[in-house]
């Protein structure tokens, strides 16, 4: 099935005027965690949080990462991502830079300056590919920078290099 069609189907499941987080099976959820680790007890796959204000990008990323056996959580803003991080401990975060209200660099700085979850690897994905933008991402605390557009091979290499074995 075409990933673009899958993404559209997932996006059509959002409520009118609002967005819902999606479980890995595509159903909406308001509770993301099991109260301990933030993922179902029987789940051995890595947990990845994707943060981007573009729902289509989040849906496509979720489908791609699930092909590699990842449990994916999505957030459409930095504020929503911070709320997810209060309940879930992902193994990796992928975040965009350009988001309304709180940008991705500020989001990364918040995580790195916090008292908890400062150890989570972070990949910044951005259409900005200048050396200055990449340096700013690394200075904010990102572990890697992945310029948009990127190939699935590049995504897999970046994710694979940061996930625990």
**Residue/partner pairs of 11-17 with CB below 8 Å, 24 or more apart:** 11/55, 11/56, 11/59, 14/55
- The predicted structure's pLDDT at residue 35: 41
- The predicted structure's pLDDT at residue 32: 43
- The predicted structure's pLDDT at residue 80: 96
The CA-atom distances, in angstroms, between 73 and each of 20, 39, 123, 135 are: 11, 10, 15, 27
Q: Are 134 and 114 in contact (CB under 8 A)?
A: no
Q: Which residues are paired to 50 by β-bridges?
A: 74, 94
Options 3.40.47.10, 3.40.50.300, 3.40.50.1950, 3.40.50.2300; CATH of 3-29+46-162: 3.40.50.2300
Token look-up 């573009």 returns 54
Going by pLDDT thresholds of 50, 70 and 90, the confidence category of residue 81 is very high
pTM: 0.74
Region of 17 please: left (phi>0), alpha (psi -120 to 50) or beta.
Answer: left
User: Residues with Cβ < 8 Å from 1, sequence gap 6 or more?
Assistant: none
The CA-atom distances, in angstroms, between 141 and each of 95, 118, 164 are: 12, 10, 19
Q: What is the pLDDT of residues 17-71, one digit of tens each?
A: 333 444 444 433 333 444 434 544 445 789 999 999 999 999 999 999 998 788 9
Q: Are 157 and 129 in contact (CB under 8 A)?
A: no
As a whole number of angstroms, the distance between CA 47 and CA 93 comes to 9
């Amino acid at each position: 099935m075409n990933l673009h069609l899958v993404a559209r189907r997932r996006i059509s499941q959002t409520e009118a005027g609002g967005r819902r987080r999606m479980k890995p099976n595509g159903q909406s959820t308001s509770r993301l965690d099991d109260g301990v680790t933030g993922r179902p007890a029987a789940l051995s796959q890595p947990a990845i949080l994707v943060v981007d204000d573009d729902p289509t990008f989040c849906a496509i990323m979720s489908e791609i990462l699930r092909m590699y056996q990842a449990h994916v959580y999505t957030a459409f803003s930095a504020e929503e991502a911070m709320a997810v991080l209060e309940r879930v401990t992902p193994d990796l975060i992928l975040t965009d830079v350009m988001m309304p209200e709180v940008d991705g660099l500020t989001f990364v700085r918040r995580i790195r300056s916090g008292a908890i979850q400062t150890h989570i690897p972070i990949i910044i994905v951005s259409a900005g590919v200048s050396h200055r933008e990449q340096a700013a991402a690394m200075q904010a605390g990102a572990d890697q920078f992945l310029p948009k557009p990127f190939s699935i091979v590049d995504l897999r290499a970046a994710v694979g290099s940061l996930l625990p074995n």
